[in-house]
Structure 1
Amino acid sequence: MKLVGSDIDDAAAPGVLAARAWQAEKAAAGYGWITGPRELGGTGLPSTHQLAFSRLEAQFDVPDPTSLVMGLHLLRPTVAAWGHGELPNRVCRAFTNGEILGCQLFSESEAGSDLAALRTTASREGDVWRVTGQKLWSSIAHIADVGLLLCRTGDEADRHRNLTMFLIDMDTPGIDVRRIRQMTGEASFNEVTFDDVYVPDDRRLGEVDGGWKVAMSTISSERSAIGGGQANNPVDVELLVEMVRRFGAGDDVTRDLLAQALIAIRVADAFNARCTEEMLSGSFQAPVASVAKLLMISSVRKVAGLVDHVLGQRAVADTGEWGTYAWRMIGLEISAYSVGGGSDEIQRNAVAERVLGLPR
């Protein structure tokens, strides 16, 4: 893999190394994949045990798991369900032990939110596939060891039918990764180009031209993770109230904006708790997770509006004053929250069709 535009080695960053070490420690103690099948390195316990462990873990200061989330919650279940031969056993254990990181190679510049319109192609040549194309907005692709790659393997006119999924090694010759600098100053998104990249057929997930089903199972895993408490609200309520107390004007507008933000946060938290209880009872349905994500994003938007009203320029110019510049990320990351895991519009369609039963 050729890495373009990288000025730091994020794979060796202390936070990433700490997250992998903590995951390895959990795996050694039997908590690396609590709900996973024993034959793939899991513990084989029901989701109630995973939820109980997650609640306990949240009470401690443990390494940030962000770099592992994609592999553990999206790639691992997908490989377990659709991989062939020895691939699931080898790859799932590697994810569980914190040995590898994964990324999702779905989005493209021309396709937008219409995943079935993707143009990256894979042409079969005997026991290998030749991949040509480009993916965009691929989170942590610059540090990932493997990627979940969705390609077109037939006529574009058939859209959903002629797609095939692969698990590709990110160090395969012909893969170029260009980091995209975001307005937050970070560069976690990437543009990934495939120039005659060869992938063995034994790295195919699911059937040839059956990639749409595989992709939907991946997206379902992602939304279930969100609904099951993986996407907690990023706002610290106590710090938010203290910020308003220190810098707010005490006028009716400020009080109203604060009330709206606090209500939105409480509603999102309450719905997330409901999803957790449904998972415990076995009645949870993945499409409901779209509601959880929309509520979380709505609360963040209201917080951003409050911060903008109270702090103004102090949120964009670092003066060193407590509780000001640190809030800048809330406003800058709203777009990422809205797009990640499926855009707001896609989520609303899922709620309308699969929860409310409305026509397409």
Structure 2
Amino acid sequence: MSKNFKIYLGVFLVILVIMGVFQINKKPLLDWRKNFDPNSKTPFGLFVFNSEADQLFGNQLKRIDQSPYDYYTSKKENRNHNILVIEKSLDQESWNQIFDQVKAGSNAIFIGRSLPNNIEDSLKIRLWNINSDDTYTLEFTDKNLAKDTLYINRLPDRKGFTRIDPKHEILGYNKTTDFQNNYYKNANFIKINFGKGHFYFYSEPIAISNYYLLKSRSNYPAKLFSFLPQQKTIWFTESQSVGNSQSNMRFILANPALRYALYLAIIGLALFMFFNAKRKQRIVPIIEPLKNTSLDFVKSIGNLYLQEGDFHDMMAKKAQYFLNKVRLDLLIDTHKLDEDFIKKLQLKTGVPVEHIQEAVSLIKKAQDPYSSVMKEDFIKMNSLLNNIIK
């Protein structure tokens, strides 16, 4: 490991530790995004509304995790019912199914900040940004509900309906005042008769969010749904209802941006395969590294000596190797294996003097061509010499 690499690694670890310390001490940020998720507990989620919805709709609420198209094409609803859609984008097939249900006598309420242009044109309305202050009050047109208002003072949607057909009924509005205390009203809740049923469009989904349901004690959110008849209500809670009827591919093809991205990805993949096939590298042969045969040679020689059983010769070679290493590594003269040699060897190796004396005695025995050597002598000398110079 190079010195520079160690420095870079150390700096990286220090930065990582500092980031970890800041992350631990960091206070969790409140998510103010308007997700309108039925399971979200963030300020603009719908967890509170989802918890109270069954009681609000007289325990006749049914949550459907499908698009309206998939639901109505797979199941027949034989009686009139309410349809609830909160801040969801639907594909044209789903809208067509809802139109058929409302025309037959059902009621549909849409709570959201946008509508497709073709739907607005069909129903002769326009959902648009309105000139409004940062704060305003939501009210109903019904005089019996005059006390049921809701004050909006945080992240208002500023959405309202314009170009409303005179045949449509305005059920609610947001009210603002200017610096001269003049009142301005913008329609935010309308009713449209369609066939045997009715459409309800409401442009202030934050009114039923966690933030305003918990902060305000107003009955406004409950009264909002009192315009619907007491009957079975189907709430389409599908998390990704945009174009999700039938298949995921249908969703992609229904959106121009995603459709072009898919075509571009297919063309890019085809070009990659074409050029990659022409430029493919040939297989690199595996070259085995040269084998070190020194160890095999040593093993062969050792087996040869073992088979011959000439322990005297093996002791002599071991003694010769040992004395040569003493001369080279310890710089001790080995011509005379006397007391002076034993003392020097003991000082430089730290081995007990009696072990060195025993080893020297066995070395002299190995150097004597006429001495009688046993296997035990060779084993003992080998052990002593290995302990002296490790």
- Shorter-normalised TM-score: what interval? under 0.3
TM-score, normalized by length of structure 1? 0.21
In proportion to residue count, which structure has more helix? 1
Relative contact order higher in (CA < 8 Å, ≥ 6 apart): 2
| Higher alpha-carbon Rg | 2
